[in-house]
A = this chain, B = another copy of it.
């Protein structure tokens, strides 16, 4: 009996040592910097403070795990959008494929201009022209056909400046924020003005965000059958959700049904999403990425004293609103140690 009891005490001591080292290891792990690509500064501080205050048991601003929702714009917020959104690059390149099947397009605008390859003329295409191009390349096929085309394209397409796949041009600091939030029980969503079915093809591999957590611009679908009688979902050229501006909070309610606790964007198209997020109770994190790094990425938009571009408009008005409402403006130049993982 004495021996057994002594054995037990011995085991208990050993287990204690084992547990103590586990606790130590876990605590060391927890103290690893979750945001190594961020410089010290107000933005980084705000992110860490938000996560701590909303996830620490007993904090007056504690948020129940089920309610931890964070929404991120994609183009210009999670990856490069300049000189043109990737989904538009896809659409422009698809026009050539379309024209092969329908040669009559060759003589019809705006397809004629796109097929000419004249970049100057293409730059002058209007929003109405763009809508026609998107309708022609994002609709009229089945969901499966579209998914297969996008998957193929995204694997091969390269950004003209970096000569790398678009999916490598994701901002490393934002990848860290996504991971940091997920590690703290947040569900991360993309809420994009881009095509929902487009972004869903690479969201898991690129951002660790599954397709069901992608909200985007979406068209009407029509269930039917192919010639063999197999069920198909056809993409109709009719808009169901324009996931820009007011469409962002509307899409969030439609597809998530909860108000986010954190929202991140980079342009006027994200304004209402941030405003809606900020109108909730308790701690909320609203951030806007400012493209002010002409050397490592781009500098554009009126908030930079630069002319408007076709992408992500960060107006002076938005900048002033952000300042007034204490939304965090993230300076790519000053807040980010590195932009891309391959730097």
Distance between Cα atoms of A130 and B202 in the complex (Å): 42
The list of the 10 closest CB pairs from A to B, nearest first, reads A223-B246, A211-B257, A221-B250, A212-B256, A231-B279, A11-B14, A200-B257, A231-B276, A223-B249, A255-B255
Contact call B257/A196, Cβ cutoff below 8 A: yes
Distance between Cα atoms of A7 and B10 in the complex (Å): 9
The one of B214, B230, B276 that contacts A257, using a Cβ cutoff of 8 Å: B214
Whether A143 is near chain B, meaning CB under 8 Å from some CB there, is yes
Contact call B212/A255, Cβ cutoff below 8 A: yes
Q: Which of A143, A222, A223, A230 has the most CB of B within 10 A?
A: A223
Distance between Cα atoms of A253 and B240 in the complex (Å): 13
Number of interface residues of A (CB under 8 A): 38
Stoichiometry, as copies per complex, reads: 2
Interface residues of A in 191-213 (CB under 8 A from B): 196-197, 200, 204, 210-212
Whether A254 is near chain B, meaning CB under 8 Å from some CB there, is yes
Contacts of A187 in B (CB 8 A): 212
Binding site for B on A (CB under 8 A): 7, 10-11, 14, 66, 69, 143, 187, 196-197, 200, 204, 210-212, 214, 218, 221-224, 230-231, 233, 240, 246, 249-250, 253-258, 272, 275-276, 279
Contact call A250/B223, Cβ cutoff below 8 A: yes
Q: Which of A7, A210, A224, A257 has the most CB of B within 10 A?
A: A257
Contact call B256/A211, Cβ cutoff below 8 A: yes
Q: Can you sample 20 A-B contacts with CB below 8 Å?
A: A69-B212, A187-B212, A196-B257, A197-B257, A211-B257, A212-B255, A212-B257, A214-B257, A221-B253, A221-B254, A223-B250, A223-B276, A224-B246, A231-B272, A231-B276, A231-B279, A233-B249, A233-B250, A254-B255, A255-B255
A323, chain B: closest CB distance, angstroms: 18
- Nearest neighbor of A12 in chain B, beta-carbon distance: B14
- Nearest neighbor of A69 in chain B, beta-carbon distance: B212
Contact call A231/B275, Cβ cutoff below 8 A: yes
Contact call B223/A272, Cβ cutoff below 8 A: yes
Contacts of A143 in B (CB 8 A): 253
A116, chain B: closest CB distance, angstroms: 35
Distance between Cα atoms of A250 and B221 in the complex (Å): 6
A316, chain B: closest CB distance, angstroms: 22
A85, chain B: closest CB distance, angstroms: 20
A91, chain B: closest CB distance, angstroms: 20
Excluding A218-B254, A231-B249, 6 further A-B contacts by CB distance (< 8 Å) are: A7-B14, A11-B11, A197-B257, A212-B258, A222-B246, A222-B250
